[in-house]
A and B are shown apart, each in its own frame.
Chain A
Amino acid sequence: MNTPEPVSLRLTFFQRRAWLVGVAGLLVGAMGLVLNPAQFFRSYLFAYLFWLSIAVGCAAIVMIYHLVGGAWGFVIRRILEAATRTLPVLAVLFIPLLFGLSFLYVWARPEAVAADPLLQHKSVYLNVPFFLLRAVLYFAVWIGIAHFLHKWSLAQDRTGDPTLARRLETLSGPGLVLYGGAVTFAAVDWAMSLDPHWFSTIYGILWIVGQVLTALAFAILVLRLLARQEPFVQVLTPSHFHDLGNLLLAFVMLWAYVSFAQFLLMWSGNLTEEIPWYIRRLHGGWQEVGIVLITYHFALPFVLLLIRRVKQSPLVLAALAAGVLVMRLIDVYWFIAPEFHPTVGGALHLSDALLLVGIGGVWVGRFVGQLQKLPMLPLRDPQEEAVVARPETA
Chain B
Amino acid sequence: MAYEGQERATGIATVPPVVGPGYTPRSVNEKISAIVLTHPTSRGWLVGFGISFLLLLLLLYSVVYLFAVGLGIWGINQPVGWGFDIINFVWWIGIGHAGTLISAILLLLRQEWRTSINRFAEAMTLFAVACAGIFPLIHLGRPWFFYWLLPYPNVMGMWPQFRSPLVWDVFAVSTYATVSLLFWYVGLIPDLAALRDRSRSRVGRVLYGMLAMGWRGSARHWARYQTAYLLLAGLATPLVVSVHTVVSFDFAVGIIPGWHATIFPPYFVAGAIFAGFAMVLLIAIPLRKFYQLEDFITLRHLDNMAKVLLATGLVVAYGYMMETFMAWYSGSPYEHYAVITNRMTGPYAPLYWGLILCNVVTPQLLWSRRARVNVPLLFGVALVVSVGMWLERFMIIVMSLHRDFLPSAWGMYYPTVWDYTTYIGTIGLFLSLLFLFVRFLPMISIFEMQELVAEEEHGAPRRAATETAPAAEAVRVSG
State whether the Cβ of A366 lies closer than 8 Å to any Cβ in chain B: no
Distance in angstroms between the alpha carbons of A184 and B323 in the assembled complex: 13
A394-B255 contact in complex given A163-B12, A184-B322, C-beta closer than 8 Å = no
A261-B245 contact in complex given A238-B470, A312-B470, C-beta closer than 8 Å = yes
Q: How far is the CB of A275 from chain B (nearest CB, A)?
A: 11
Which B residues are CB-close (under 8 A) to A78?
Answer: none
State whether the Cβ of B326 lies closer than 8 Å to any Cβ in chain A: yes
Distance in angstroms between the alpha carbons of A314 and B471 in the assembled complex: 13
Question: Per-residue 0/1 for A284-328: is the Cβ within 8 Å of any B Cβ (1 yes, 0 no)?
Answer: 000000000000000000000000100010110000000000000
Distance in angstroms between the alpha carbons of A265 and B168 in the assembled complex: 14
The 4 closest A-B pairs by CB, nearest first: A239-B471, A201-B263, A162-B12, A202-B262
Q: Are B12 and A261 in contact (CB under 8 A)?
A: no
| Interface 9-residue window, one of B134-142, B278-286, B327-335, B419-427 | B327-335
Q: Are B263 and A202 in contact (CB under 8 A)?
A: yes
Distance in angstroms between the alpha carbons of A234 and B363 in the assembled complex: 44
Distance in angstroms between the alpha carbons of A202 and B269 in the assembled complex: 13
Which A residues are CB-close (under 8 A) to B265?
Answer: 202, 257-258, 261
State whether the Cβ of A370 lies closer than 8 Å to any Cβ in chain B: no
State whether the Cβ of A88 lies closer than 8 Å to any Cβ in chain B: no
Q: How far is the CB of B382 from chain A (nearest CB, A)?
A: 20
Contact residue among A125, A242, A257 (Cβ-Cβ distance under 8 Å from B471): A242
Q: How far is the CB of A103 from chain B (nearest CB, A)?
A: 23
A237-B474 contact in complex given A180-B318, A201-B261, A261-B245, C-beta closer than 8 Å = yes
Q: What are 12 A-B interface contacts by the 8 Å CB criterion?
A: A125-B329, A165-B12, A184-B318, A199-B326, A205-B263, A205-B266, A227-B479, A233-B476, A236-B476, A237-B475, A238-B470, A238-B477
Q: Are B263 and A238 in contact (CB under 8 A)?
A: no
Question: Per-residue 0/1 for B23-58: is the Cβ within 8 Å of any A Cβ (1 yes, 0 no)?
Answer: 000000000000000000000000000000000000
State whether the Cβ of A262 lies closer than 8 Å to any Cβ in chain B: yes
| Interface 9-residue window, one of A135-143, A210-218, A266-274, A347-355 | A266-274
Which B residues are CB-close (under 8 A) to A233?
Answer: 476-477
Contact residue among A122, A125, A236, A243 (Cβ-Cβ distance under 8 Å from B477): A236
Q: A201-B262, A239-B468 are in contact. List 13 more A-B contacts (CB 8 A).
A: A166-B11, A180-B318, A200-B262, A201-B323, A227-B479, A233-B476, A246-B108, A257-B265, A264-B249, A264-B253, A269-B255, A273-B332, A391-B471
Q: Are A394 and B323 in contact (CB under 8 A)?
A: no
Please, which residue of chain B has its CB at the minimum distance from the CB of A227? Answer: B477
A166-B470 contact in complex given A125-B329, A200-B326, A394-B461, C-beta closer than 8 Å = no
Q: Are A273 and B471 in contact (CB under 8 A)?
A: no
Distance in angstroms between the alpha carbons of A242 and B330 in the assembled complex: 43
State whether the Cβ of A115 lies closer than 8 Å to any Cβ in chain B: no
Q: Are A394 and B262 in contact (CB under 8 A)?
A: no
Please, which residue of chain B has its CB at the minimum distance from the CB of A169? Answer: B13
A391-B472 contact in complex given A125-B329, A261-B245, A314-B477, C-beta closer than 8 Å = yes
Please, which residue of chain A has its CB at the minimum distance from the CB of B269? Answer: A257
Distance in angstroms between the alpha carbons of A367 and B178 in the assembled complex: 50
Which A residues are CB-close (under 8 A) to B263?
Answer: 201-202, 205
State whether the Cβ of B160 lies closer than 8 Å to any Cβ in chain A: no
Distance in angstroms between the alpha carbons of A7 and B263 in the assembled complex: 46
Please, which residue of chain B has its CB at the minimum distance from the CB of A308? Answer: B467
Q: Are A391 and B474 in contact (CB under 8 A)?
A: yes
Which A residues are CB-close (under 8 A) to B326?
Answer: 199-201
Q: Are A262 and B474 in contact (CB under 8 A)?
A: no
In which size bucket is the chain B interface? 35 or more
Which B residues are CB-close (under 8 A) to A269?
Answer: 253-255, 260
Chain B residues proximal to chain A, CB less than 8 Å: 10-13, 108, 163, 238, 241, 245, 249, 252-255, 260-266, 314, 318-319, 322-323, 326, 329-332, 367, 461, 466-468, 470-477, 479
A166-B477 contact in complex given A202-B263, A261-B245, C-beta closer than 8 Å = no
Q: Are B10 and A265 in contact (CB under 8 A)?
A: no
Q: Are A253 and B461 in contact (CB under 8 A)?
A: no
Main secondary structure of the interface of A (DSSP, over half): helix
Please, which residue of chain B has its CB at the minimum distance from the CB of A267? Answer: B253
Q: Are B475 and A238 in contact (CB under 8 A)?
A: yes
Q: Are B262 and A271 in contact (CB under 8 A)?
A: no
State whether the Cβ of A118 lies closer than 8 Å to any Cβ in chain B: yes
Distance in angstroms between the alpha carbons of A163 and B318 in the assembled complex: 30
Which A residues are CB-close (under 8 A) to B330?
Answer: 199, 273
Q: How far is the CB of A64 from chain B (nearest CB, A)?
A: 11
Question: How many residues from A make CB contacts under 8 Å with B?
Answer: 54
Distance in angstroms between the alpha carbons of A188 and B265 in the assembled complex: 19
Q: Are A394 and B12 in contact (CB under 8 A)?
A: no
Q: How far is the CB of A149 from chain B (nearest CB, A)?
A: 18
Question: Per-residue 0/1 for A193-236: is the Cβ within 8 Å of any B Cβ (1 yes, 0 no)?
Answer: 00000011111110000000000000000001001100011001
Which B residues are CB-close (under 8 A) to A315?
Answer: 479
Contact residue among B13, B329, B367, B471 (Cβ-Cβ distance under 8 Å from A166): B13
Q: How far is the CB of A179 from chain B (nearest CB, A)?
A: 12
Which B residues are CB-close (under 8 A) to A166?
Answer: 11-13
Q: How far is the CB of A348 from chain B (nearest CB, A)?
A: 29
Distance in angstroms between the alpha carbons of A100 and B365 in the assembled complex: 45
A173-B264 contact in complex given A121-B331, A237-B475, C-beta closer than 8 Å = no
Q: How far is the CB of A18 from chain B (nearest CB, A)?
A: 23
Which B residues are CB-close (under 8 A) to A264?
Answer: 249, 253
Contact residue among B255, B323, B367 (Cβ-Cβ distance under 8 Å from A173): B367
Distance in angstroms between the alpha carbons of A279 and B10 in the assembled complex: 60
Please, which residue of chain B has its CB at the minimum distance from the CB of A270? Answer: B255
A177-B471 contact in complex given A228-B477, A314-B477, C-beta closer than 8 Å = no
Please, which residue of chain B has its CB at the minimum distance from the CB of A121? Answer: B331
State whether the Cβ of A369 lies closer than 8 Å to any Cβ in chain B: no
Please, which residue of chain B has its CB at the minimum distance from the CB of A124? Answer: B328
State whether the Cβ of A385 lies closer than 8 Å to any Cβ in chain B: no
Which B residues are CB-close (under 8 A) to A253?
Answer: 238
Which A residues are CB-close (under 8 A) to B254?
Answer: 269
Distance in angstroms between the alpha carbons of A224 and B477 in the assembled complex: 9
State whether the Cβ of A276 lies closer than 8 Å to any Cβ in chain B: no
Which B residues are CB-close (under 8 A) to A201?
Answer: 261-264, 319, 322-323, 326
Distance in angstroms between the alpha carbons of A180 and B311 in the assembled complex: 12
A163-B255 contact in complex given A204-B322, A237-B474, A314-B477, C-beta closer than 8 Å = no
Distance in angstroms between the alpha carbons of A314 and B238 in the assembled complex: 26
Which B residues are CB-close (under 8 A) to A5?
Answer: none
Distance in angstroms between the alpha carbons of A228 and B318 in the assembled complex: 42
